[in-house]
């Protein structure tokens, strides 16, 4: 199970990512969109096995999570375990925002996975959690057809789909 502090993206970016998810699904490549129909395109600022959404809200207070952030989604990446994603190009504003969120989460006692902490985080928009090895190259080529994307953050929430949690921030 995974819970995350997710940044949600503008309508055009969301539409483009969902179209990519459907294109992969149509080619027999399982996307995040077909996993259980609860996901929406996002970039996670923090993740853990469990995150208490009320503790996150208390830790963040009136901090405007994601408010006003824009960034490019300009490349494709792969994590070990056949995870395919679209890469977010780091900006000073995004880096600073991520740092500020984590300072507040740490001060509020909210535990997150080490690889989401400042200095280790790889900002990305997940496309698939389980691309079969024989179709990884075609999946990457398909993803590249949808880039570049200019994205704007329009909202944020703590999401834990396994436990039906979606707590807007």
- Give the pLDDT confidence score for residue 47 in this predicted structure: 97
How many structural domains is the chain composed of?
A: 1
**Model confidence over 60-87: pLDDT tens digits?**
999 999 998 999 999 999 999 999 999 9
Q: In the chain, pLDDT over 70 holds for what percent of residues?
A: 99
CB atoms within 10 A of CB 10: 17
Q: Would you say residue 38 has pLDDT above 90?
A: no
* Parent domain of 100: 3-168
**In this predicted structure, which of 89-93, 141-145, 160-164 has the lowest mean pLDDT?**
160-164
Residue 75's domain is classified under what CATH number?
3.90.1140.10
Rounded mean pLDDT, 125-149: 97
**Burial profile 53-77: b = 16 or more Cβ within 10 angstroms, e = fewer:** beebeebbeeeebbeebebebeebe
Burial letters for 110-140: b for 16+ Cβ neighbours within 10 Å, e otherwise? bebeeebeeeebebbbbbbbebeeebeeebe
Q: In this predicted structure, what is the pLDDT of residue 35? A: 76
Our separate counts of H helices and E strands in the chain read: 4, 7
CB contact at 8 A, 151 and 10 = yes
Q: State the pLDDT at residue 1.
A: 62
Cα separation, 40 vs 153, in Å, equals 13
Phi-psi region of 73 (alpha: psi -120 to 50; beta: other; left: phi over 0): beta
pLDDT at 123 over 70: yes
Residue in the block written with tokens 């996901």: 39
């Amino acid at each position: 199970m995974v819970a995350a502090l997710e940044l949600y993206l503008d309508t055009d970016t969301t539409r483009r990512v969902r179209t990519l998810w459907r294109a992969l699904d149509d080619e027999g490549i399982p996307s995040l969109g077909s996993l259980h129909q609860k996901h929406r395109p996002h970039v996670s600022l923090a993740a853990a096995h469990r995150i208490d959404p009320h503790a996150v809200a208390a830790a963040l207070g009136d901090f405007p999570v994601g408010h006003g952030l824009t960034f490019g989604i300009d490349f494709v990446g792969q994590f070990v375990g056949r995870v395919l994603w679209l890469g977010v190009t780091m900006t000073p504003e995004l880096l600073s925002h991520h740092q500020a969120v984590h300072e507040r989460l740490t001060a509020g006692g909210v535990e997150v996975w080490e690889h989401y902490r400042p200095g280790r985080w790889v900002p990305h928009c997940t496309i698939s959690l389980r691309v079969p090895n024989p179709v990884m190259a075609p999946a990457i080529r398909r993803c590249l057809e949808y880039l570049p994307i200019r994205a704007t953050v329009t909202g944020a929430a703590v999401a834990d789909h396994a436990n039906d949690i979606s707590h807007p921030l």
